[in-house]
Amino acid sequence: MESQEEINALKEGSQLAFNQLIDTFSSKVYNLSFNLLQNQEDAEDVTQEIFTTVFTSIQQFKGDSKLSTWIYRIAVNKCKEHFRKKSRKKRFGFTISIEQNDNAENLLKPHLEHPGIVLENKERASILFAAIEQLPENQKLAFSMHKLEGIPYEEIAVILETSLSSVESLIFRARQNLKQKLARYYDENER
Protein backbone atom coordinates (compact mmCIF):
# COMPACT_ATOMS: atom_id res chain seq x y z
CA MET A 1 0.00 0.00 0.00
CA GLU A 2 3.02 2.26 -0.25
CA SER A 3 3.40 2.34 -4.05
CA GLN A 4 2.99 5.60 -5.96
CA GLU A 5 0.20 4.06 -8.08
CA GLU A 6 -1.85 3.17 -5.01
CA ILE A 7 -1.28 6.59 -3.48
CA ASN A 8 -2.35 8.26 -6.74
CA ALA A 9 -5.49 6.10 -6.79
CA LEU A 10 -6.23 7.24 -3.22
CA LYS A 11 -5.76 10.86 -4.25
CA GLU A 12 -8.22 10.35 -7.09
CA GLY A 13 -10.77 9.14 -4.55
CA SER A 14 -10.84 5.48 -5.61
CA GLN A 15 -13.07 3.43 -3.30
CA LEU A 16 -11.05 0.30 -4.11
CA ALA A 17 -7.79 1.94 -3.06
CA PHE A 18 -9.44 3.22 0.13
CA ASN A 19 -10.73 -0.28 0.93
CA GLN A 20 -7.20 -1.59 0.52
CA LEU A 21 -5.91 1.14 2.81
CA ILE A 22 -8.47 0.11 5.45
CA ASP A 23 -7.50 -3.56 5.09
CA THR A 24 -3.82 -2.70 5.51
CA PHE A 25 -3.87 -0.09 8.26
CA SER A 26 -7.14 -0.28 10.19
CA SER A 27 -5.92 -2.92 12.64
CA LYS A 28 -2.66 -1.08 13.36
CA VAL A 29 -4.40 2.27 13.80
CA TYR A 30 -7.18 0.80 15.96
CA ASN A 31 -4.67 -1.00 18.20
CA LEU A 32 -2.57 2.14 18.60
CA SER A 33 -5.69 4.13 19.53
CA PHE A 34 -6.93 1.40 21.85
CA ASN A 35 -3.59 1.14 23.66
CA LEU A 36 -3.32 4.90 24.02
CA LEU A 37 -6.92 5.67 24.96
CA GLN A 38 -7.52 2.42 26.90
CA ASN A 39 -11.18 2.38 26.00
CA GLN A 40 -12.87 0.44 23.20
CA GLU A 41 -15.58 2.99 22.32
CA ASP A 42 -13.17 5.92 22.30
CA ALA A 43 -10.72 3.92 20.17
CA GLU A 44 -13.47 3.12 17.65
CA ASP A 45 -14.60 6.76 17.40
CA VAL A 46 -11.05 8.06 17.10
CA THR A 47 -10.18 5.42 14.47
CA GLN A 48 -13.12 6.65 12.39
CA GLU A 49 -11.96 10.27 12.80
CA ILE A 50 -8.43 9.26 11.78
CA PHE A 51 -9.52 7.59 8.54
CA THR A 52 -11.91 10.46 7.74
CA THR A 53 -8.93 12.82 8.04
CA VAL A 54 -6.80 10.47 5.95
CA PHE A 55 -9.47 10.50 3.22
CA THR A 56 -9.99 14.26 3.26
CA SER A 57 -6.29 15.21 3.52
CA ILE A 58 -4.64 12.63 1.28
CA GLN A 59 -3.96 15.43 -1.25
CA GLN A 60 -1.58 16.94 1.31
CA PHE A 61 0.52 13.77 1.50
CA LYS A 62 3.71 14.69 -0.32
CA GLY A 63 5.53 11.39 0.06
CA ASP A 64 8.30 12.82 2.29
CA SER A 65 7.72 9.95 4.71
CA LYS A 66 6.16 6.51 4.43
CA LEU A 67 2.35 6.49 4.12
CA SER A 68 2.16 4.44 7.35
CA THR A 69 4.21 7.10 9.21
CA TRP A 70 1.92 9.84 7.88
CA ILE A 71 -1.17 7.90 9.03
CA TYR A 72 0.42 7.24 12.46
CA ARG A 73 1.09 10.96 12.78
CA ILE A 74 -2.59 11.72 12.15
CA ALA A 75 -3.50 8.99 14.65
CA VAL A 76 -1.22 10.42 17.33
CA ASN A 77 -2.58 13.93 16.80
CA LYS A 78 -6.17 12.69 17.07
CA CYS A 79 -5.32 10.82 20.28
CA LYS A 80 -3.66 13.97 21.66
CA GLU A 81 -6.85 15.93 20.86
CA HIS A 82 -8.83 13.27 22.70
CA PHE A 83 -6.56 13.46 25.79
CA ARG A 84 -7.02 17.23 25.86
CA LYS A 85 -10.79 17.03 25.50
CA LYS A 86 -10.84 14.49 28.31
CA SER A 87 -8.64 16.55 30.63
CA ARG A 88 -10.73 19.67 29.90
CA LYS A 89 -13.83 17.75 30.86
CA LYS A 90 -12.12 16.57 34.06
CA ARG A 91 -10.92 20.05 34.93
CA PHE A 92 -14.36 21.58 34.56
CA GLY A 93 -16.27 18.60 35.90
CA PHE A 94 -18.27 19.18 39.03
CA THR A 95 -17.72 15.68 40.36
CA ILE A 96 -14.04 16.13 41.21
CA SER A 97 -13.35 18.24 44.24
CA ILE A 98 -10.12 20.19 44.66
CA GLU A 99 -9.37 18.24 47.82
CA GLN A 100 -9.59 14.94 45.97
CA ASN A 101 -7.25 15.94 43.17
CA ASP A 102 -3.82 15.71 44.81
CA ASN A 103 -4.20 12.26 46.28
CA ALA A 104 -6.64 10.60 43.93
CA GLU A 105 -4.77 11.48 40.76
CA ASN A 106 -1.61 9.77 41.98
CA LEU A 107 -3.35 6.52 42.86
CA LEU A 108 -3.27 3.76 40.27
CA LYS A 109 -6.73 2.47 39.48
CA PRO A 110 -6.35 -0.61 37.29
CA HIS A 111 -9.38 -0.69 35.02
CA LEU A 112 -8.36 -2.06 31.63
CA GLU A 113 -8.70 -5.76 30.89
CA HIS A 114 -6.74 -5.78 27.67
CA PRO A 115 -8.07 -8.58 25.44
CA GLY A 116 -4.65 -9.06 23.85
CA ILE A 117 -2.80 -9.89 27.07
CA VAL A 118 -2.04 -13.51 27.98
CA LEU A 119 -4.15 -14.72 30.88
CA GLU A 120 -1.39 -15.07 33.48
CA ASN A 121 -0.30 -11.46 32.94
CA LYS A 122 -3.77 -9.86 32.93
CA GLU A 123 -3.68 -8.52 36.49
CA ARG A 124 -0.19 -7.06 36.28
CA ALA A 125 -0.76 -5.62 32.81
CA SER A 126 -3.86 -3.89 34.11
CA ILE A 127 -1.72 -2.18 36.78
CA LEU A 128 0.89 -1.27 34.16
CA PHE A 129 -1.77 0.25 31.86
CA ALA A 130 -3.07 2.34 34.77
CA ALA A 131 0.48 3.59 35.36
CA ILE A 132 1.02 4.32 31.66
CA GLU A 133 -2.20 6.36 31.63
CA GLN A 134 -0.72 8.69 34.24
CA LEU A 135 2.48 9.43 32.31
CA PRO A 136 3.02 12.86 30.75
CA GLU A 137 1.57 12.96 27.22
CA ASN A 138 4.75 12.62 25.14
CA GLN A 139 6.24 9.94 27.39
CA LYS A 140 2.98 7.99 27.17
CA LEU A 141 2.97 8.27 23.36
CA ALA A 142 6.61 7.31 22.86
CA PHE A 143 6.54 4.47 25.41
CA SER A 144 3.27 2.98 24.10
CA MET A 145 4.30 3.20 20.47
CA HIS A 146 7.58 1.45 21.17
CA LYS A 147 6.63 -1.02 23.87
CA LEU A 148 3.10 -1.94 22.79
CA GLU A 149 3.19 -1.41 19.02
CA GLY A 150 6.83 -2.29 18.41
CA ILE A 151 7.45 0.87 16.37
CA PRO A 152 11.20 1.56 16.11
CA TYR A 153 12.71 4.69 17.70
CA GLU A 154 13.54 6.22 14.30
CA GLU A 155 9.93 6.05 13.12
CA ILE A 156 8.62 7.37 16.45
CA ALA A 157 10.94 10.37 16.00
CA VAL A 158 9.39 11.06 12.57
CA ILE A 159 5.84 10.57 13.88
CA LEU A 160 6.36 12.88 16.87
CA GLU A 161 8.41 15.30 14.72
CA THR A 162 11.33 15.20 17.14
CA SER A 163 14.90 13.91 17.26
CA LEU A 164 16.02 10.35 17.90
CA SER A 165 17.77 11.37 21.13
CA SER A 166 14.53 13.00 22.37
CA VAL A 167 12.66 9.75 21.78
CA GLU A 168 15.33 7.80 23.67
CA SER A 169 15.12 10.26 26.52
CA LEU A 170 11.28 10.18 26.54
CA ILE A 171 11.24 6.39 26.76
CA PHE A 172 13.96 6.35 29.44
CA ARG A 173 12.05 8.89 31.55
CA ALA A 174 8.80 6.97 30.98
CA ARG A 175 10.43 3.80 32.37
CA GLN A 176 11.77 5.70 35.40
CA ASN A 177 8.35 7.23 36.05
CA LEU A 178 6.63 3.88 35.67
CA LYS A 179 9.05 2.28 38.13
CA GLN A 180 8.28 4.99 40.68
CA LYS A 181 4.53 4.57 40.23
CA LEU A 182 4.75 0.80 40.46
CA ALA A 183 6.95 1.00 43.57
CA ARG A 184 4.34 3.21 45.24
CA TYR A 185 1.56 0.85 44.18
CA TYR A 186 3.52 -2.14 45.56
CA ASP A 187 4.04 -0.40 48.91
CA GLU A 188 0.36 0.41 49.19
CA ASN A 189 -1.19 -2.80 47.89
CA GLU A 190 1.11 -5.76 47.45
CA ARG A 191 3.32 -5.77 50.54
> Using N-to-C axis directions, what is the helix angle for 164-185 and 137-147, rounded to 10°?
100
Identify the residue among 60, 116, 119, 161 touching other proteins (CB under 8 A): 116
Q: Does 63 bind other proteins (CB under 8 A)?
A: no
Helices (H), the chain: 4-11, 15-37, 40-57, 67-92, 98-104, 122-133, 137-147, 153-159, 164-185
To other proteins, the closest distance from the beta carbon of 6 in angstroms equals 15
To other proteins, the closest distance from the beta carbon of 88 in angstroms equals 26
Q: Does 1 bind other proteins (CB under 8 A)?
A: no
Distance, CA of 137 to CA of 28 (rounded, Å): 20
> Using N-to-C axis directions, what is the helix angle for 137-147 and 67-92, rounded to 10°?
140
Q: Does 38 bind other proteins (CB under 8 A)?
A: no
**Amino acid letter at 126?**
S
Question: Which residues lie near other proteins (CB under 8 A)?
Answer: 13, 15, 18-19, 22, 26-28, 30-31, 34, 44, 47-48, 51-52, 55-56, 114-118, 121, 124-125, 127-128, 147-148, 175, 178-179, 182-183, 186-187, 190-191
